[in-house]
Structure 1
Amino acid sequence: MSALTTVPAAGTHRPVRTARPSLPRLTLVELRKAINTRAGFWLMAVIALVALAMVVVQIFTGDAADRNFADFFGGAQLGIGLLLPVVGILAVTGEWSQRTTLTTFALEPRRERIVTAKLAASAVLAAAAVAASLVWAALANLLAPVITDASASWEFGFEGLGRVLLFQVVNVLVGSAFGLALLSTPLAIVLYFVLPTAWTILGSLISALKTPAEWLDLSTTTTVLLDGELTGEAWGQLGTSLALWLALPLVLGTMRVLRSEVK
């Protein structure tokens, strides 16, 4: 018995339905884009090396009581936090600089999903950087007692890990928000570092700005996540500063991406 094959009648066309990529798949694609370029790959490598360098310096400096897992891990975050926003900027602006957005939006016309995937990919990269610093801190805590008089304490809670993760995710998302708002890699990098720094300087020099700076100075409100007490006021200050430096450019940038003409 031969198999029967159904052939569409001549002149008829059946629409081909293709499943749109899911958000996790889009996020994986954006992750690949972020680290497959030379700039992205070497930036992530530099972040890992900076974290390692911070840990190595801590092994040979400071008091013996400070050479423990928590301090090694915390000390590595400052260098990471300085560079991670650039990762977020590149993740967003890279395609606009290389003019490959037309291909991306042709494959997924719903631009808001692309924006969400880029933000999610940036957050995953921040988590990866934190994970790398955990590894360096653990290795340092094993090595330090052998070559120094370190205490080698392993005391560290999940609350501390959550704070650090939140700190780094906030940093990278602020960078992404600047990238969305400006859609230019050099301009976004320059303004990301210049504007908050200028606000910090003005807040410290002008007495009338001292109180507003306590609520709008991003460096102050986020540093409390690493080494401060998270009171209700501290959370309020963090939320207020993020409304200015994260939410506002993110909303403006998303609106710009949704309305921009892609060439």
Structure 2
Amino acid sequence: MSTTLTPSAAASAASSAVRPAARERGASAATLVALEIRKSLSTRSGKTLALASALLAPGITAVMAATSDDELGSAAGPIGALGLVTVLVLLAVGVLSTAGEWTHRTVQTTFLVVPQRGRVLAAKAVAVALLGAVLAAVAASATAGVLAVAPVGDLSWDGVPQALGVVVAAGAAFAVIGAGVGAAVANSPAALTGLYLTVLGVMPVLRLAQPGIAEKLDPADAVLGLAAGHGGTTQVLVLTGWVVVSLVAGAVVTSRRAVA
């Protein structure tokens, strides 16, 4: 005995067969990245940090130019040094993108919508990298603009393109480092305290006691060296190592952590 489906019934059956596949496929990678960028900028702390990262360095530059009579000589040095201020703020942007979700318990909703935790962390990493690069570019360009009009003597602009490029790349790297550490620790205050204590406390002490070891571990010193044109493969590997280790740690711990 054969059964004949009407056109409407056949269409309904086909639709039912297609829907699960579409549901399993989920949102595209670009959609997830855009969502994570929007989430990072949707909170008061996220907006404050984004503004601080973009405006702090040029603001400091303007104040220094207005209050100092010293000639700077080269624009690359201040751009690199104040770019470090920017990327240190971007560490916090990265931390809040991951640890903030655990701290405020919004991670339950995130993993309910996208159960693949690795996919979520990858989207967050790309999102904060893009956000960090853009904010660092804005800050570094604004700093260069302030230097161009400030009464700081006859400036040399040699090495400025490299300094700008290093600051932008470091902005992306530091934001990703923050995201990885935040994912591993799952607590915003603890992750922020640990990161800043390590970068601003432990590393300077290590640089005084064991400069050879510090050169291979200090991400802040790597940024300054590369921006000044004194760095090389070692400094690139230092930043790369921090990015890789933090992301791997974040991915491993996140995959095993229970969502309460």
**TM-score range relative to shorter protein:** 0.7 to 0.9
Q: What residue number does 1:48 align with?
A: 54
Q: Find out whether 1:164 has 2:170 as its counterpart.
A: no
Equivalent residues in 2 for 1:123-142 (5 A)? 123-141=129-147
Determine if contact 1:55/1:75 at 8 Å carries over to the other structure: no
Letter matched to residue 163 of structure 2 = G
- Distance (whole Å) between structure 2 residues aligned to residue 241 and residue 141 of structure 1: 28
Partner of residue 189, structure 1: 192
- Asked whether the 8 Å contact 1:218–1:242 carries over to 2, the reply is no
Asked if residue 262 in structure 1 is aligned to residue 253 in structure 2, the reply is no
User: Which deviates more from structure 2 when the two are superposed, residues 156-165 or residues 100-109?
Assistant: 156-165
1:220 equivalent in structure 2: 221
Conserved 8 A contact 2:74-2:157: no
Task: Go from structure 1 to structure 2 and tell me whether the alpha carbon gap of 1:221 and 1:157 turns closer, same or farther (over 3 Å shift).
Answer: closer
Cross-structure match for 1:74: 80
Alignment correspondent of 2:237: 239
Shift, 1:82, TM fit: 2.2
* Residue in structure 2 matched with residue 25 of structure 1 by the alignment: 31
Q: Which one of 201, 204, 214 corresponds to residue 200 of structure 1?
A: 204
Count of aligned positions: 249
Q: Return the TM-score normalized by structure 1.
A: 0.81
Residues in 2 aligned to 1:13 and 1:168: alpha-carbon distance in whole angstroms = 46
- Where do 5+ consecutive residues of structure 2 fail to align? 1-5
Deviation at 1:142, TM superposition (A): 5.1
Give the match for residue 102 of structure 2: 96
Query: 5+ unaligned residues in a row in structure 1: which ranges?
Result: none
Q: Percent identity?
A: 27
What letter corresponds to residue 14 of structure 1 in structure 2? S
Render the CA deviation track for 1:111-153: whole Å, top value 9, x for unaligned.
Answer: 1111011111111121122232244235424532xxx364366
Corresponding letter in the other structure for 2:82: A
CA distance 1:139–1:248, shift in 2 (3 Å): closer
Matching residue's letter, 2:205: I
Letter of the structure 1 residue corresponding to residue 204 of structure 2 = T
